[in-house]
Amino acid sequence: MASAYAQFGNNVTDYEKLIDQERSYVLKLLRTTTPDQIFNRNELQYTASVSIEELSEVSKKAQFLYASFHFINREEIDLSAEWTTYTINLIDRICICLRPITGRWIWAHSEFDEAKSRWDLQQQYKKTAVNLLKALAEGLEYLCPVFDNVDARTIVEAIATYLLPDDPWCTSESNRIAKVLIDLYCPVPFDPEESGARILAETLRPVFKSAKHRNVSAAGRLSTSREHELRISFDTDDESPWTAQRPEAASLLHFVLSSADATFMSNNWPLLVPSILAIMDDQDPVYKARGCSILYLLLTNANPQVILVTGIAGIFWDALMTCLTYLPLGSSNVTVTDAVKLLDISYTDLIILSSIRSQDTASKTVSKHLVTTADAREIRKRQAKYLGSIIMEGIYSGMSLCGAQVEVAELLMAKLGIIAKNMEITFVVYLQVSFVMVT
């Protein structure tokens, strides 16, 4: 017997459009035929060096599976136990196919881009991903009664890959489906923190194992020994595993930290610090912005004392100050859009970090409930110093170099206003500099 896919896959993508005779035949087929005769799950895959034609074929198969399970769910058809096992295995395959194709992704396309073939391939993948997510949604609905047998980590990871709309493998449709799915299946029956811990341990740890910073020890602390002489800077070329082999790694790290608490971050500190710095140190301003967004989650949710005691605050500060130099100058490849996104999150992180660093007075960390009047003055003084350096090394320099770019200038002035509010009376020292910038 020919498979249902062979008979209907090329011209029927919605079983609701089948005529009554065809619907009766399909219904009988589902109840009397083994799942692999309906659709051979081993066909749902593509090669490492995937082609547009392969992706197009996977897209058609995903469309067929979506229609099949939609029909099963809508008609509330009782199927054999074999279908449950088949569907669990099928969903595992769909989740693997939902990993963005390997290779550095192109975030913005130019008609003169030499990588046009790569761009076309990635555009086809985006279409394929939408159909895969639709098939996943219907498959999960079918498996609802037996979720105990489903690998939560694999499914949550696949969905989380499409939760950030700015990712180049996302479309508005795939992002919408992912948000619906994560709301439906997290936290019940999936525990996001438990799934996040598994994603970090089983997926991200192997990807970021080569991420080492010359000034960061293996424990995620400021290196105080000769160990840093044996460590190397990040390998930021196209073969870095977090940009090429698993390009969704940064997005998954963002997802994990978005639901993590201070204890989770402290327990995983040795992995988180070099991973975040590796993403921030990438040459692509879009990746740098993603790294800064992940750092924002760390700065706002981790215990500030951990950041200070480990001595890592200064390294984060230096990495962020480097981000401020990515300006849309005539000789650079940084677009205004990318610059605004990167500068926005970088200044936000720096302002938060200035508050954290200022709490370390006289080489000792000060708990809020133990702060004396003298300590409070010292904290304000230190924060003013850090904020002042942001004004002079970041905002003033940025305005001097690209004040003609209206979007950038507006952002810089908005950040200056936030800094002024934080500095209070001490901002008067920078009034003259601010007047020069405005004029």
In single-letter form, the type of residue at position 99 comes to R
> Are 95 and 166 found together in one domain?
yes
pLDDT of res. 138: 94
> Are 335 and 230 found together in one domain?
no
> Are 202 and 160 found together in one domain?
no
Dmax (CA) of the chain: 86
Residue 222 pLDDT > 80: yes
Which of 293, 315, 337 terminates a domain? The answer is 315
Which of 156, 173, 190 terminates a domain? The answer is 190
> Are 202 and 333 found together in one domain?
no
> Are 58 and 147 found together in one domain?
yes
pLDDT of 272-293, one tens digit each? 999 999 999 998 999 999 999 9
Provide the whole-model pTM: 0.88
Confidence of residue 363 (pLDDT cuts 50, 70, 90): very low
pLDDT of res. 290: 95
How many structural domains comprise the chain?
3
Span 304-327, average pLDDT = 94
> Are 162 and 211 found together in one domain?
no
> Are 298 and 411 found together in one domain?
no
pLDDT of res. 378: 80
> Are 292 and 336 found together in one domain?
no
What distance in Å separates the CA atoms of residue 44 and residue 56, rounded to the nearest whole number?
12
> Are 185 and 98 found together in one domain?
yes
Residue 21 pLDDT > 80: no
Residue 81 pLDDT > 50: yes
Q: Which of 16-25, 83-92, 364-373 has the highest mean pLDDT?
A: 83-92
Residue 230 pLDDT > 50: no
Class of residue 408 by CB neighbours under 10 A (exposed 0-12, middle 13-18, buried 19+): buried
> Are 298 and 202 found together in one domain?
yes
- 364: helix, strand or coil: strand
pLDDT of 34-58, one tens digit each? 898 888 888 899 888 899 999 999 9
> Are 19 and 97 found together in one domain?
yes
Range of the domain at 247: 191-315
| DSSP, res 298 | H
Backbone dihedral angles phi then psi of residue 360, each to the nearest 5 degrees: -90, 90
Confidence of residue 376 (pLDDT cuts 50, 70, 90): confident
Confidence of residue 232 (pLDDT cuts 50, 70, 90): very low
